[in-house]
Homo-oligomer: A and B are copies of this chain.
Amino acid sequence: MKFTAKRRLYSLAVVAAVFGHFQNAQAADESINLKTMGSFHIGGRLVEISGKPVKEMLFSAGGVPVRIDPNGTYQVEQMYVQYFIPAQERGSVPLLMWHGGGFTGVTYETTPDGREGWVNYFLRKGWAVYNSDAVERGRSGWAQYPDIFKGEPVFLTTANPFERFRIGGGEGSFSQDPSKRRYLPGNQFPADGYDNMMKQIVPRWTTTDDAIMAAYLAEVDKVCPCVILFHSQAGPFAFKAAQARPDKVKALVAVEPAQVGDPDKVAALKAIPTLMIYGDFIDKDRRWPTIRKNGLAFVEKIRTAGGSVDVVDLPEIGIKGNSHFPMMDRNNREVADLIQKWLGDKGLYR
């Protein structure tokens, strides 16, 4: 009997150990346990090109020449979406992440100084995450111009984001020499990550909004109901997507939206809880006071139509020093905690 009791205790200890191990494997900051992950492209259209000369091209020194006939049909304006589905989903709907202008979904991956970004943060919390590259950026590919895309692509100098996005103190604050860069005092942007952030930036057009919008709507139609978390240039895309598909969008998390939705369709947003987050140093910038003012005017219209928007100016709640990139800033977890709590308060997390 004593022997048996010992065996039972041993068995229970094994059960506890195995359970413990298994629970650790699930825990935040321990491992990321995925049911699956993958990617797809969505949307886009076919375009005909004709009347151009045929070329023979050598794709690499020593290769076999390839005949390239540029006339024909091209697939353009599709969008790349990468997804990660946790083994145990705790978000009541998937979380879509839409990046800002000149960037790709890399925005939400590892921060430029090598810490975990918001994809990992929300995945570890149990959200299914869909992280995309807008049309014409990153793995979405881009189309020939001027034949298909109109206008020229925009390339950013290493100085441009530093001076324009409240990392440095405006024009003239950047130097290629890191020791001579003039940061806004108390800035949370990781100084040792700036040069790396420049590697994340890709060319962009300013004429492709309709194509970007169409692909985002295609994503919403495929993946949602959902929450959309979006940054900067994605502001108008996300608000307009919600206005076009109000039943499919369960919440909007606007991180420093550069612009907003259609002011004539604010009623469509009234049942969609919205969180709007602004960082620090807004009043120290030439453009950001106007951008924020336009955002708040839109918020007032939504509220007048009966909608619910929570506007958080981070410095006002004691979270100081954020640049335009809170998902990359040193306190990116703190800002994510705020979003996570808000989503929970809205009943979207179980």
Measured CB to CB, the residues of A under 8 A from B are 1, 4, 7-8, 11-12, 14-15, 18-19, 21-22, 25, 31-41, 44, 46, 49, 57-64, 66, 68-75, 78, 80, 82, 87, 101, 104-106, 109-110, 114, 116-117, 120, 133, 138-139, 141-144, 153-160, 164, 176, 195-196, 198-203, 206, 209, 233, 236, 258-259, 287, 290-291, 294
Query: Please, which residue of chain B has its CB at the minimum distance from the CB of A147?
Result: B155
Q: Can you list 14 pairs linking A and B with CB atoms under 8 Å apart?
A: A31-B34, A32-B35, A38-B110, A39-B109, A58-B206, A60-B258, A62-B259, A63-B258, A66-B164, A66-B287, A68-B154, A70-B157, A71-B157, A106-B139
Contact A233 B8 (CB under 8 A): no
A117 with B25: in contact, given A31-B87, A33-B33, A157-B73 (CB under 8 Å)? no
Nearest Cβ distance between residue A313 and chain B, in whole angstroms? 19
B37, B155, B176, B209: the one contacting A120 at CB < 8 Å is B37
What 10 pairs across the A-B complex have the smallest Cβ distances? Answer: A72-B157, A41-B199, A38-B110, A11-B11, A141-B202, A78-B199, A75-B198, A32-B34, A138-B139, A39-B109
Give the nearest-CB partner of A72 in chain B.
B157
- Chain B residues whose C-beta falls within 8 Å of the C-beta of A144 in the assembled complex: 153, 155, 203
On chain B, the residues within 8 Å of A1 by CB distance are 4
